[in-house]
Structure 1
Amino acid sequence: MSAAQDVLIVDDEPAIRRFLRSSLIAHGFGVVEAETGQAGLAALARGSFALVVVDLGLPDIDGHELVRGIRRQSPVPIIVLSVRDDETGKVAALDGGADDYVTKPFGIDEFMARVRAALRHRLQQQGQTATLRVGDLFIDVLSRDVKIRGQGVKLSRREFDLLVYLAEHAGKVVTHQQALTHVWGPGHGEYIEYLRVYVRQLRQKIETDPQHPRLLQTVPGVGYRVSADD
């Protein structure tokens, strides 16, 4: 999945933002917070997000209006939060472009399941897959789980994003600049030594013999390739 892994939370309640932030970060997502609808729209205009969480009860903009504004800007999945459990409000939010509606209070397991469902639906719309398998390597992009030879592997957020990008291009050479720009963003294309550190860390975790890697291969002077034959 070649997409940002940041979630934008638009909610004026600090306690809700803290709750969502800690849970999302624990599941490997980055988080950007906005206390108002206007701040949320500004953040969306500046960056790329995997998902937007919108509270309907904002101080400056009606939540339904904000959902429509986000949808005019982007196809990003939107999950609405609200203390209101009325059918009319749910229908209005979904008709306005929201992908899901969660009533407060809610449990984090339920919320993360809704997140995965929204992301999975978006991937299906884009013709992409939620899982990657290359030889003995298996990646669940949505749950951010990685297994090598059936054993779970714990990766940092950057390690995971780098591995996914390389695995998406299995059998092809990914240049240093392509990897750095995709994972770290524009302006990082020359930080080759930085990239090498992360590749070494990945090899320690996924290779049987990190000194003689078979899966994550170096293409001297160019970049890296995940072997589709391993």
Structure 2
Amino acid sequence: MESIWKWDNPTGLQVKGIAKEEGGKFKVEIFEIYDVIPRAGVDLNIPIYRKKLMWMETKFMKKFNFDRNFKPVPQNMVQELNSVREKVHRKGFPAVVLTINPSNGVPNVSPRWIVELSDKSWVYGDSTRHKTQINAESPSPVAIAIYDFSTETGVLGVGWVSTTESPELKKKIEDFWKTKGFNAQVIRVNEFHPEEIYRLSRIGITKIYESRKRSEWVKLS
């Protein structure tokens, strides 16, 4: 991450990306550019500066023919998953998104709220293009755990992620975030498509759904 400031009137630009060494110098491969604007007053509970997304690189996005690859999850399974999701979210626990960097195998774990769960997908949003989002957009499988830490029970989905430009889902995510005190702009609406689903408990993991063999779907992820 790098910043360019005008110090006599503290405004400027901030870029995010990956630094790479070339010929003894570091170059930043830019993923996002923000306009950084100072807040009025001092409040230790909020950042001093707010950032507005100005530009975002999209060339690394995965491309899917989703209609061709889609296999709906049975409705009885969807009902069970939604029951777990609602109980877990009601207790204040977000889901956990697990991704890996396909270039080096480094894992990344990050909390996300699943705002909609249907036979088609589990919907969650991202406000910045960080490791979780970059990994999900890369050719890499993704797992999401919806887990009740108080009872040590939950569900785990393993599959792949695509993105959508749906304004309805974008608004739904932002409205849900506001109920959690998180007022931010959604830059990615993600749809997680489970190919395998497991029931989790403190004594083990049980597979309860499989759309097809992993060797068939992993090439789509």
Give TM-score scaled by structure 2 length.
Answer: 0.29
Q: Name the one with the larger strand percent.
A: 2
Give TM-score scaled by structure 1 length.
Answer: 0.28
